[in-house]
Structure 1
Amino acid sequence: MGRVLARVLGVVFVLWAVVTLTWFGAYAIPGEPAEAVLGGSGSKATAEQLAQIRAEYGFDRPLLTQYADMLGGLLHGDLGASYALKTPVTEIIGQTLAGTLVLAALSLAVAWAVAVLVALGSTRDSRLGTALGSLLEVTAVAVPHFWLGSVLILVFSVGLGWLPPISAPGAAGLVLPVLSLALPLAGFLGQVMRESFLAALDAPFTLSARARGETETRVRLVHALRHAALPAISLSGWAFGSLVSGAVVVETLFSRPGLGRTLLSGVLDGDIPVIVGVVLVIAVVYILVTFATEAADRIADPRLKAASRPSEAAAW
């Protein structure tokens, strides 16, 4: 119970810190909220109009009072309404959340598949394969999302005409955005997995498996791969968070509706409720994925499950 209570308090603190830093950071954006309500800095609002909006929305009150009201609303499940769209933030997030989660989940799956293939191919007894795999991993890690997405559009949309240059309904519209997010992450996961894979191939349990007469393919796929996947599984929570962050660029590049594009629009418009709401939802998703990653760690590595129980930990 103490461990659960500590975990709950930690989650509450993280969410409070995220909301606080985001809210005060949003207020540091040039301009003022009253201008955002009236259509932005280009609206040419008069002083009387600005004063009316400040009084109507409470922008003329002390900053700490506005902050306390915002926290009170969050505690009651109210994220407020968008200044620019005059729509509840929960409704805006509800319309865009699924698109970003699908994009991030597919990108993580593709990144894992590519990383496993590269790790398996670059750990065979071939110096050329090892060098080529290492080169591909380093190159993928160093490529920015926006550059990779632009190249993919030029090659597969403009040059070959195989895929749409912007996001479209159906699977074809997801291919280029998913690849733009997945390939850089695949390079990072592949680096981590390959080093663990090489260590696992020389570990005592793989030597024992070979001594029992198991084939090299079974040793690599059943024993070594499971061990090599452990560090990558631990990093999957961080990886999912990085994919959601990268979605800001990719969704904008491919004109794909989602949380990332909504967040960018909120920042450009100075729409503080949208900024705080989207960042809060992303933080909640990241925390849930982190918990799921920890559970996957325990399933893949029985030693972690045993360590959580004192009697079994002593046996180990």
Structure 2
Amino acid sequence: MAIFKRSLLTLLSLVILLVLVFFLSRLTGDPSYLFLPVNATPEARAAFAAQNGFDQPLMVQFLRYVGDVFTGEFGTSLRQQRPAIDVALEAFPVTLKLAAVTLAIAIAAAVVAGSLAAYRPRGLVDRTIGVTSLAGASAPDFWVAITLVLVFSVGLEILPTSGMGGPLTWILPVIVLGLRPFGLLVQVVRGSMIAALSAPYTKTARSKGASEGRVIFVHALRNSTLPVITVAGDIAASLINGAVIVETIFGWPGIGGVMINAILQRDFAVIQATILVTAIAILILNIGIDLLYRFLDPRVRFA
């Protein structure tokens, strides 16, 4: 029943998104001023509008748009003159790959750092990791990106400023995109590990002669993963959203860069397709995390 309710809420969210994306995209202006010469005549602009269906009343355009979406038709890109959904689906795997690599590295680093911080609470290591993680979780992505480019690309000239290619092109985007997830996950891992290390089963493991490494990374960590999975699911969704800024700054050919270019070019069909594809991916991801959490935690399943 809970999954059924979540599915209904997901469908309602998509409907609301359809409305918002359509009307907000029209606020960017008349695309004829970008696709036609500056001195184009009113007749030429009227012909352009008629050719692309912009001459009809806005509500008629919206109803046609909704009908097309439910039949799998997302319109044609004004700039590329090909289906907008193809443009979005070609770019989305790049964003998904960047988000997946970033999340994997952030989780691995946060598990190690959070476990070390929890081993001696309020110690020097705990305070250092705490300050670092909070700074990473609070720093704006665009500011960190620009700062790293100025230092490592412009100043030291050891990393490329933009583009997607060899391993070096991944370093700055992954760092910028992963700082906030790392900071949040460290706090979650630390809190869960502190509770787990003081639990009776870890005391029993110590009394049986288990090493500290086994107590921390086997007994305690295994029972501290459920909160991490929950937060990681939410973070995965935010990474896809955050990739819009990172891809734009670093010139990655992902869906974020395509979306920004479509907004600047007033390519309505591509704007609608990229946002809808991103939203559907995030909603599916959230439902998947709910199912995984119910599978891993019997208390949630029985409730």
Q: Calculate the TM-score normalised by the size of structure 1.
A: 0.87
Give the structure 2 partner of residue 228 of structure 1: 224
Give the structure 2 partner of residue 261 of structure 1: 257
* Corresponding residue SS for 2:55: coil
d(CA) in 2 for partners of 1:125, 1:235: 24
Pairwise CA RMSD: 2.1
Give the structure 1 partner of residue 13 of structure 2: 14
d(CA) in 1 for partners of 2:3, 2:107: 31
The percentage of counterpart residues that share the same residue type is 34
Out of 204, 210, 213, the position equivalent to 1:214 is 210
Out of 271, 290, 294, the position equivalent to 1:294 is 290
Give the structure 1 partner of residue 24 of structure 2: 25
Out of 233, 238, 243, the position equivalent to 2:234 is 238
Aligned 8 A contact 1:140 1:183 in 2? yes
1:97 aligns with 2:92: yes
Out of 57, 63, 70, the position equivalent to 1:68 is 63
* Corresponding residue SS for 1:256: coil
d(CA) in 2 for partners of 1:18, 1:206: 48
d(CA) in 2 for partners of 1:10, 1:114: 34
Give the structure 2 partner of residue 111 of structure 1: 106
d(CA) in 1 for partners of 2:220, 2:276: 39
Aligned 8 A contact 1:82 1:274 in 2? yes
d(CA) in 1 for partners of 2:295, 2:208: 25
d(CA) in 2 for partners of 1:7, 1:294: 9
**Unaligned stretches of 5+ in structure 2?**
none
Q: 1:57 to 1:220 in 2, by over 3 A?
A: same
What is the 5 A alignment of 1:176-191?
A: 176-191=172-187
1:52 aligns with 2:50: no
**Unaligned stretches of 5+ in structure 1?**
309-316
Q: 1:6 to 1:168 in 2, by over 3 A?
A: closer
**Any runs of at least 4 consecutive aligned residues in structure 1 with deviations exceeding 4 A, and if so which?**
2-5
Give the structure 2 partner of residue 193 of structure 1: 189
Q: 1:110-169, CA deviations, whole angstroms, 9 ceiling, x for partnerless residues?
A: 111121121012112261111111101111011111222223333333444433222232
Higher relative CO (CA 8 A, sep ≥ 6), structure 1 or 2?
2
* Corresponding residue SS for 1:77: coil
C-alpha displacement of 1:191? 1.4
Q: 1:217-238, CA deviations, whole angstroms, 9 ceiling, x for partnerless residues?
A: 2221123223333222112222
Aligned 8 A contact 2:160 2:168 in 1? yes
What is the aligned residue count? 302
d(CA) in 1 for partners of 2:219, 2:18: 44
d(CA) in 2 for partners of 1:236, 1:44: 53
The one-letter amino acid paired with 1:268 is L
d(CA) in 2 for partners of 1:45, 1:213: 84
Out of 146, 150, 155, the position equivalent to 1:154 is 150
Q: 1:199-223, CA deviations, whole angstroms, 9 ceiling, x for partnerless residues?
A: 2222233233334443322221123
The one-letter amino acid paired with 2:26 is Y
Q: Calculate the TM-score normalised by the size of structure 2.
A: 0.91
* Corresponding residue SS for 2:253: coil
